[in-house]
Amino acid sequence: MVFWLAAAAALALWFLLLLGTAAATRNPDVTAGPSTGDLPDQSPAVVDLITGHWRLSEEAPAATLLDLAAKGVVRIEEIGPELSLVRLRRDPGDLAPYEKLVLEHVQALAVDGVVATGALAEGSRDLGRWWKSFRRKVVVEARAQGLSRPRWSRAQAAMLTTTTAVPALTLAVAVTADGGKHNAGPGAGIVSWALLLMLMGRLNGERGTRRGAEVASRWLGVREHLAASGRFGRQPAASVTLWGRHMAYAAALGLAPRAVAGLPVGGAAGDRRAWSDYGGMWHVVTVRYPKRLFWAREPLPMLFRALVAGAFAGFWTWMILLVATAFDRWPDTLLQPTALGVGAAVAVVPLARAISDLVRKEDIQGQVVRLRRFQIASRGDGGARYAHWCAVDEGRGREIKALGIGSVLWHTLSEGDQVRARVGAKLGWIAEIEVTARARHREGRYDDTGEYRIDAPENLGELRLSEPRLDPRQEPRRKPRRE
């Protein structure tokens, strides 16, 4: 009992030390400065960081693309109510690393130098890694300008890391003393030490400097000036041609939601709405995922299931009617025919579909626009079973039924690949698939190592102890992006 009390006391003292350090290193309070139309010398992405309490939000990549348009690197054109285009214009010259990251994504998606704005969420990139890379690069610039710094100093990080050994060691001793024959003490100590380090890392991130707070105050004054016009919220992204960099900063400051929504650079593509350039012109398609009763099923297993289902239905029909005949509720002569008829009725549709797909398959050709997997069951070993889907745009219509595919073939594909496949038309199962042209926008054309690497945790301030105090005159900021 004494050892457990000592472990609880050590853990409580360490938590007090952690909370005290976190309180001492919280972000400075920022209040809006005088309203002004003058734009200080920071990029929209850095402005998003420092005015969002040193946490980057989803507006930052879109604001960066708007800034590239204002600089003439790209042009955003509104073609119609449902179609806007980003057109590459000229050699960008020297760009910040995070600006290159956004531009390279646009270049990878572009067909003949043009990409639909709605298609900016497409591509087979690792979005989580892309965001970490973008965030790191913005933080590097903010630190270089003296606007930001790591929350824990090296001394504080060393102190917290070292002191985690005390509660971990006392817990290990307590478990050992109370464990009897099972020597679980070392394991308990290691696990508790790792959990405490994880908690410490989650609370770490970016915090503002005194200069950063002063600059953020000036930008909140710019925000008041832009908000007073009341115009940016209704403007599409193409209006950057008229408003210039003011539109980009309005997006970074949370004042241009329509423009940001129209440029999903840092967002994930939806499951049911996809953009395709198959055929040479960008167009949107709707993807349907039918219920898997008679769809997205492999023919041979479906053949077996159909026979089992028919036998099961026929057997229980026979059992029920057998009882009914004992009470003269059903004629004896119809007992066996009825059971056979019910079994055949249950099995006939899946059986016919399975046989049809085993005998004959269709050849299709098009572009993979969606690769998805959804969990359908849990395995006994704690894992999960998934249904794998592949939607192929053949250029025939604006609605596509996703097809079933095996996991091995599914992992060989990327969204944007042009493929040729053999498909069972009745059960919607891809038996064979061949990639004829790899997607242009495959994963990984960005650099998140080398000169852009920084000494900071990957989360870069995903958590904070309490909500920051806002200036009464300041409109509520949008929610920061969470992974």
Specify the pLDDT at position 455: 42
Assess contact for 76 and 120: CB atoms under 8 A. no
Alpha helices in 233-359 (DSSP H): 240-243, 245-252, 257-261, 299-326, 335-359
Specify the pLDDT at position 81: 73
pTM for the structure as a whole: 0.78
Specify the pLDDT at position 460: 38
Would you say the C-alpha torsion 244, 249, 251, 255 has a positive or negative sign?
negative
Assess contact for 263 and 237: CB atoms under 8 A. yes
Task: Phi first, then psi: give them for residue 327, nearest 5 degrees.
Answer: -105, 20
Cα 119 → chain centroid: 15
Q: CA–CA separation, 454 vs 55, rounded Å?
A: 16
Q: CA–CA separation, 388 vs 454, rounded Å?
A: 38
Specify the pLDDT at position 253: 94
Q: Which amino acid is at 312?
A: F
**Could you tell me the two tokens for 283?**
């167009």
pLDDT in tens, the chain (483 residues): 788 888 889 889 988 998 888 888 888 888 888 988 888 889 999 999 999 989 899 899 999 999 999 999 999 998 877 788 999 987 778 899 999 999 999 988 888 889 999 999 987 777 888 898 999 999 999 999 999 998 888 888 888 888 888 888 888 888 887 765 557 778 888 888 889 888 888 887 788 899 999 999 999 999 999 998 778 888 999 999 999 999 999 999 999 999 999 999 988 888 999 999 888 788 899 999 999 888 999 999 999 999 999 999 999 999 998 888 888 888 888 888 899 999 899 999 999 999 999 999 999 999 999 999 999 888 766 678 899 999 999 988 899 999 999 999 999 998 889 999 999 999 999 999 999 998 876 544 444 443 334 444 434 333 232 333 344 334 444 444 433
Specify the pLDDT at position 71: 92
Distance in angstroms between the alpha carbons of the first and the last residue of the chain: 42
Specify the pLDDT at position 457: 42
Contacts of 226 (CB under 8 A, 6+ apart): 232, 246, 249, 250, 253, 255
For the chain, the structural domain boundaries read 2-277, 278-313+340-463
278-313+340-463 — its CATH code?
A: 2.40.50.660
Give the CA distances from residue 330 to residues 51, 228, 321, 322, 433, in Å, rounded to whole numbers and listed in that order: 79, 82, 7, 8, 53
Contacts of 295 (CB under 8 A, 6+ apart): 401, 404, 427, 428
What are 115's strand-pairing partners? 86
Assess contact for 255 and 229: CB atoms under 8 A. no
